């Protein structure tokens, strides 16, 4: 599924039916020390789609993701995530979202199985053992389940982190640069799994710096200086920017925005 239209400069995408949207937020803002880290972001993500979230380091991607999953309270803005109010129903949102952080966040001195069992306990999952077994099988971790997490390579840690995100059967995945520092084969395998999940009805918002990954998304949202610069399909963004390719489009967008946002 694709965005309804490009959003140069953060202007509104033509409205989709609320039932079709997993994420719909308006004017989302967060300030630290008087500085707007996220500045009036509008974002729509359709259910069952993969939306790439792109932007330079420090552009506000991680802060936005944390507000969407209920870990940070927005200073301003309104909207819904999975039909739940982002301001009033953060606790309920957390139980329906899988959040994969930039850095590996599980226990390195526990085995793969022990880490998954710990996460399953946190979510108070019924049939905990069966849920862990299913996650191990799905991500190809069963043969390594007794291996300590700290001894895994980057690609295997990535698989473990994704398995932990999926244990409680979330409806939305928020993935913060999940393939940073991972080899090309592991990145490709990870994205194949993301597409299988989306085909199964899970919505994915994933931040990335890789243009080949951006091309595999149904829609893209590009932010800089805490603001949305463009939103739409890759082809729409390239055309709106008058660029030769996606990387060129983003360079042009940031160049145009610098004087206004600094």
Across the strands, what pairs with 89?
Answer: none
pLDDT score at 261: 54
Whole-angstrom CA distances from 84 to 28, 46, 90, 191 are 15, 15, 8, 28
Going across the sheet that includes 219-224, the strands are 97-100, 172-176, 203-207, 50-54, 219-224, 227-232
Beta-carbon count within 10 A of 87 CB: 14
Nearest-angstrom CA–CA distance, 73 and 175: 19
- Range list of β-strands (E), 123-226: 172-176, 203-207, 219-224
For 90, residues 6+ apart whose C-beta sits below 8 A from its C-beta are 70, 71, 73
Whole-angstrom CA distances from 92 to 116, 121, 170, 254 are 21, 17, 12, 36
Write phi, then psi, for 2 (nearest 5 degrees).
Answer: -125, 160
**Domain positions in the chain:** 8-96+170-261
Name the fold adopted by 8-96+170-261.
Rossmann fold (3.40.50)
Dihedral in degrees, nearest 10, Cα atoms 63, 91, 163, 102: 10
Its pTM stands at 0.89
CB-CB contact of 173 with 100 (8 Å):
yes
Cα three-residue angle 226-81-222, rounded to 5 degrees: 30
C-alpha 140, offset from chain centre:
22
Nearest-angstrom CA–CA distance, 250 and 255: 8
pLDDT score at 247: 93
pLDDT averaged per 10 residues in sequence order, the chain, 262 residues: 41 57 96 93 96 93 95 94 94 95 94 98 94 96 97 94 96 95 90 96 96 95 94 94 92 80 54
pLDDT score at 259: 64
CB-CB contact of 216 with 47 (8 Å):
no
The per-residue b/e assignment along 44-60, b for 16 or more CB within 10 angstroms, e otherwise, is bbbbbbbbbbbbeeebb
pLDDT score at 111: 98
pLDDT score at 224: 92
């Amino acid at each position: 599924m694709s965005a309804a239209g490009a959003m140069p400069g953060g202007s509104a995408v033509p409205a989709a039916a609320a039932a079709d949207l997993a994420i719909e937020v308006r004017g989302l803002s967060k300030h630290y020390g008087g500085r707007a880290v996220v500045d009036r972001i509008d974002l729509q993500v359709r259910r069952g789609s993969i939306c790439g979230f792109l932007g330079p380091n420090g552009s506000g991607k991680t802060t936005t993701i944390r507000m969407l999953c209920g870990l940070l309270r927005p200073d301003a803005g309104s909207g819904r995530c999975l039909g739940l109010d982002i301001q009033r129903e953060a606790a309920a949102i957390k139980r329906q979202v899988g959040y994969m952080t930039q850095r590996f966040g599980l226990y390195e001195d526990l085995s793969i199985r022990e880490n998954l069992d710990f996460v399953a306990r946190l979510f108070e999952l019924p049939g905990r053992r069966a849920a862990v077994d299913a996650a191990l099988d799905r991500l190809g971790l069963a043969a390594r389940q007794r291996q300590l997490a700290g001894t895994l390579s980057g690609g295997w840690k990535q698989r473990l982190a994704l398995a932990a995100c999926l244990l409680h059967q979330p409806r939305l995945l928020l993935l913060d640069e999940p393939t940073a520092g991972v080899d090309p084969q592991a990145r490709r395998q990870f994205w194949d799994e993301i597409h299988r999940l989306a085909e199964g009805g899970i919505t994915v918002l994933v931040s990335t710096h890789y243009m080949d990954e951006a091309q595999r998304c149904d829609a893209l949202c590009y932010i800089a200086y805490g603001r949305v610069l463009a939103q739409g399909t890759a082809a729409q963004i390239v055309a709106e920017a008058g660029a030769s390719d996606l990387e060129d489009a983003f360079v042009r967008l940031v160049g145009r925005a610098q004087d206004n946002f600094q």
